[in-house]
Structures are given as C-alpha cells and as structure tokens.
Amino acid sequence: MTNIYFDHSATTPVDPSVVEAMLPYLRNRYGNPSSSYRLGQEARQAMENARSQVAALIGAHPDEIFFTSGGTEADNMAILGTAYKQWEKGRHLITTAIEHRAVLEPCKFLRSQGFEVTFLPVDESGMLDPQEVQQAIRKDTILISIMHANNEIGTIQPVEEIGAIAEERGITFHCDAVQSAGRIPVDVNRIKCDLLSISSHKLYGPKGAGCLYLRKGTKIVPLITGGGQERDLRGGTENLPGIVGFGRATELACQVLDQSRWELVFLRDRIIEGISERIPNSILNGHRFQRLPGHVSFSFANVDGKALLSMLDEKGIAASNGSACHSDSPGPSHVLKALGYSDELAKSTLRITLGRDNNDHQVDYLLAILPDMIEALRDISPEFRPEAECPCQDQPSSQN
C-alpha cells in the first residue's frame, strides 16, 4: 500500500543522522551531565554542544537556551514563570484567541488565580493586527504571548512588529515558535522577543525535547525545581539522548532550511491550486501567502472531515483535521471558530502539512484521488445541494 505522510505539523520523522547522533548516548555514553568524572563530563560536553547548535538556529547565545521536555513545557514555563515573577508589577496578559492550547491553558489557569487575560481576535485569514496589541496594552500588562505561525491554518503573524511594540512599552514578549523554527527563519533579535519556545519533534528531532529561549536579563520563576539543573530554572536530570538529537536536528535545519523551504512552497502551492481548481466549494483556511511553506488547510462544505481522513488513510495517506493535540475532541477547532466559521464548516477541514520527505508524485496522487472522495462524501451528506449557494460564501475566507 502507498504510504504517504502528510502530517508534519503534528510531528516529523526523526532524521537518520539525528538517530545516529543519539545512539552513542543511548548505548555507552550514558553519563549524567552533573557527574564530575569523565563519563559525566563527556555528557555535559555533548549537552553544551547541543545548546550551541540550538542557539545558532535562532540567533541566540548558548547561555540563553534552557532545555525542556518540548514545546508545551516551554510555553508553560514562559507564561506561568513570567506571571509568577512579575505579579507584583501587574496582572494583565495579552495573547490571541488562536494560540495553541499549550499557551491558552496556562493563561486560563492564571485567570482563575486573579490575573486578567485579553484574548485578541484575528481577521478571517487568522492574521493579528499589531494595532490591536498596541491598543490592548494597559499599565498593568506584564506579558504579551503571540505565536509565530499557527499549527492549524499556517498563518504567520507579524511578530517583528509586535516585538517592537512590546520593546517600546517595556513589556515581556513571548513567542511560540514551535511551528516555525526549522521551517522559516526565526531570529530572536529581529523578533525582539524575551522568550521563545521550540520543540524538537517538529523539526526532525526526537520527541520529549525542546527549549525555552530566555533573553539575557529576563527573569522567570522556575516551575520544576529540584537538583538545580539548567541553571536553577528547570530541575531534573537532563534527557541527554533527546537533547543531543535536538541539537543535531537544529544543525541540520540550519543547513537545509533555505532549500527545503522553497521546495515546500512549490509543493504547497501545487496542492492549493490543484484543490481550488478541482473541488468546488472549497475554502482555503489561513492566509494565502503569509503561511508556512508546507502548510495546506482546506474546509469543504458538507463534508465530514473525520470520514475524509479515514478514506485517505485507507489509501495510505496520513493527514489531519487540524491540531493533532485535540484530534480526540469532538468539538470544532477553536482556531476556525475564531475565524468566524460555523461548527459544521469547522468540522469539514483537511490539513495537509508537507515535509522534506514529500515529492511531486505524492502530490499528484493526492490530487487524483481527493476530488472523488469529496464528491462521494457530499453525495451522502444530508446537507448537500449542489445547485445551492455554497454556505461558505457567507463565511469569511481567503478562498482563491
């Protein structure tokens, strides 16, 4: 059977060279980086090498990188850690309605603890207007947290403009770069962020590793305390094989980013144009151009999104409806709801996210089988009347 992986926003395969780099640390180089004898010091050396590799990907200094278990922990650490540090200064946070739940949940938790959170709206393409940020700032605002690129719709936010606003107003700025790091250039000095989250498994590294970038001088309260690892900001014996793999993955990303980015844009645009031409009443979700290179998301009026995924799976294609993190949740996506979609339309979504292992033939195959699948699902949908106006015409969309 064909086996095509089109879900790189959920996770990526581990690159073979990353596996190679990790293997010695799973076999004979098992030292604890905190141990003083040679085995331990070799482990520390490998960890510091990985710290430099990760720092190089985002234009940071190695001392500004703090390893975590992944993107969720980095986001929690940034938001809760800043709030606990600055609560005497103010208790107001600003974020958007379309953040990943790794940001939304700690924000909601803080609200239950007496903080106030402004969840800014986005336009129909998922884009945040920096002026909205400017206007939402209050005297007691202590943190602005805005994602670089959205996992469900691929829209890339104007984080450099937002960072400039935060800097001018003296407010800590956190950027969730989990979807963007390794896919588009991410430079902490251009974004002017104080904190930035990255996850290893989104850039061909292993799961269970990631980091929080913390600009020199930025202070947070640690969430995990214990043995004083990561300069007292994240206790716990480090996941050395994971960190070494993460480091190698970022090194590789630096080498291939420029080329792979444009290859992915090419494949992405073939899919966007192919679907728009072949499938009536299809809506492109997210911004047409300010979007991640390999990211395609469509909603198809009167199509059961879950049934579509099963049909694709039958044909050997792994794709998703939106975020892998809440694929078990029956509710419509909070991101598509924030774009103004009805529950039905939000549930009729197909997300295809491409990676370095995809090619033209796979795109041809998808475009060959998808129109019939959509037609078959519409034929059995009680709602579908081909002669009627597409319900999506009432919906804000960036259809092209």
Catalog residues that contact ligand PLP under the rule CB under 6 A: 70-72, 75, 100, 102, 147, 151, 176, 178-179, 199, 201, 210, 325
**Minimum CB distance to ligand PLP smaller for 302 or for 353:** 353
- Which of 64, 73 has the CB closer to ligand PLP? 73
Nearest to residue 157, comparing CAs of 286, 311, 310, 346? Answer: 286
| Residue 65: closest CA among 172, 253, 200 | 200
**116, amino acid identity:** E
Q: Does residue 355 contact residue 8 with C-beta atoms inside 8 Å? A: yes
Angle at 312 between CA 11 and CA 286, to 5 degrees: 60
Least distance to ligand PLP from the beta carbon of 109, Å? 16
Give the residue with the Cβ less far from ligand PLP, 150 or 302.
Answer: 150
Tally of CB atoms within 10 A around 259: 10
We find the least distance from the C-beta atom of residue 12 to ligand PLP, in angstroms, to be 11
| 167: exposed, middle or buried (Cβ count in 10 Å: 0-12, 13-18, 19+) | middle
Would you say 145 or 358 has its CB closer to ligand PLP? 145
* Rounded Cα–Cα distance for residues 368 and 363 (Å): 9
Query: Smallest distance, Å, CB 100 to ligand PLP?
Result: 3
Which residue is catalytic, options 211, 254, 325, 390? 325
CA 200/CA 212 separation, integer angstroms: 11
Minimum Å gap between C-beta 18 and ligand PLP is: 15
Query: Collapsing DSSP states into helix, strand and coil, what is residue 243?
Result: helix
DSSP for 348-400, please give it.
SEEEEE--TT--HHHHHHHHHHHHHHHHHHHHT-TT--TTSPPGGGGS-----
CB atoms near residue 124 (< 10 Å): 16
Phi-psi category of 157—alpha, beta or left, where left has phi over 0 and alpha has psi -120 to 50? Answer: beta
For ligand PLP, the closer of residues 173 and 395 by Cβ is: 173
Min dist CB 124 to ligand PLP, Å, is 20
Least Cβ distance, residue 128 to ligand PLP (angstroms) = 14
**Judged by CB, which is closer to ligand PLP: 210, or 247?**
210
Name the closest residue to ligand PLP (Cβ): 71
CA–CA dist 306, 247 (Å, integer): 36
Asked about 175 being catalytic, the answer comes back as no
Q: In terms of DSSP bridges, do strands 141-147 and 92-96 run parallel, antiparallel, or are they unpaired? A: parallel
The residues annotated as belonging to the active site are: 325
